[in-house]
Amino acid sequence: MIDDLVMVMEIDPPESILLDPEIPFDWNGILFSPFYRKGELIKYVGEFRNLRLVINSSKLTVSGSLHKFYHGNNSGDFTWREIQATLELLANVIGEDLDKAHLKKLTFACNLPIEAKPFLDRLISIKGRKPVNMVGGINHIPYGKYIKLTHYRIKIYDKKMEVNWHDRKRIKPTLRMEIEMNLKAFKSRKSNPIDINFLSDLFDTKFVFFCRQELLSVADQLEFTQDILPCNCTSSFDLECLALMKDMEIRLNYKRLSNPKTYRKKLKRYQELCRQFESNNLKQTLLTMVGNKLEELTNSDLTLQKVG
């Protein structure tokens, strides 16, 4: 469930830096090389598996996907027990106590074993906003959609296509929902703020509950095109609501030009029509799958212990 992160911690600078700062050195089995900018030495960079480690003065920054670090990929499940095992392994590798490492960035996600195309083809709105296409491959083929907000970036995409392009591997059909958090904004937002500062906070039950609620909230605020025909409408008002609300670009333009109260009234009626004539409830299917998957990943896996 946890994927990408950036964490920073205080360390004692390796002796090699003090002895000869301009040559590569081995630190806890990891090779670090000097990095220059405009001829000036500014930091030392090393890699371990897929993680990037940077030493700058007395600070160590670790960035990358914990999911890939542990499993070699991030297309399957990643339970809380496995997350804890990953951090314990990382603490042993770098020889530092990670418990008080400061979190700067965090991404959490949910991989659902289902064909992505039926959902993506009909997805027209994420949290009331028109999403932007994600494209990939040499032909720039659309394979997902995303929105960028103050607090986070939300992505919903076909993980099978991405893995096929990047790793030349075939995996089972997978729809991935991903939230990249702006931690600073999350702490100060009015609705459901989260106070997360240290790596150890990841194992607080409040944060686990927060992740579940955020992913479920995203699933609940997805909107898909519906097969509502004009003949299904029984009044001119219903026809007007259908014409104005079915197409997202028309809807957003109408929202900009109309009275807010009138807009909300017509949107509410359109949503009622959607529920009335919807034969294949994509949103409910997704909500059920996300709920079941999160229960599977977190319910029996919480061992809230110190990391490091």
CA distances from 166 to 12, 49, 176, 231 (A): 37, 17, 16, 46
Give the residue-averaged pLDDT of 215-236. Answer: 86
Compute the distance between CA of residue 211 and CA of residue 222 in angstroms, rounded to an integer.
Answer: 17
CB within 8 A of 300, min separation 6: which ones?
A: none
- Sorting pLDDT into bands at 50, 70 and 90, what band is 176? very high
Compute the distance between CA of residue 87 and CA of residue 71 in angstroms, rounded to an integer.
Answer: 13
Q: Give the residue with greater pLDDT, 191 vs 234.
A: 234
Q: For residue 280, what pLDDT is reported? A: 55
Q: For residue 126, what pLDDT is reported? A: 93
Residue 301: pLDDT above 60?
no
Give the residue-averaged pLDDT of 231-245. Answer: 89
Q: For residue 173, what pLDDT is reported? A: 94
Q: For residue 209, what pLDDT is reported? A: 85
Whole-number mean pLDDT of the chain? 87
Give the residue-averaged pLDDT of 144-154. Answer: 92
Q: For residue 304, what pLDDT is reported? A: 43
Q: For residue 135, what pLDDT is reported? A: 93
Residue 307: pLDDT above 60?
no
Compute the distance between CA of residue 44 and CA of residue 110 in angstroms, rounded to an integer.
Answer: 34
DSSP bridge pairs for 222: 126
- Sorting pLDDT into bands at 50, 70 and 90, what band is 170? confident
Q: Give the residue with greater pLDDT, 196 vs 64.
A: 64
58 alpha-carbon distance from chain centroid: 30
Residue 107: pLDDT above 80?
yes
Give the residue-averaged pLDDT of 110-123. Answer: 93
Q: For residue 278, what pLDDT is reported? A: 66
Summarised one tens digit per residue, pLDDT across range 261-280 is 999 999 999 888 887 776 55
Q: How many helices (H) and strands (E) does the chain have?
A: 11, 13
Residue at token pair 């995996």: 171
Give the range with max mean pLDDT: 84-98, 155-169, 186-200: 155-169
Give the range with max mean pLDDT: 17-31, 144-158, 217-231: 144-158
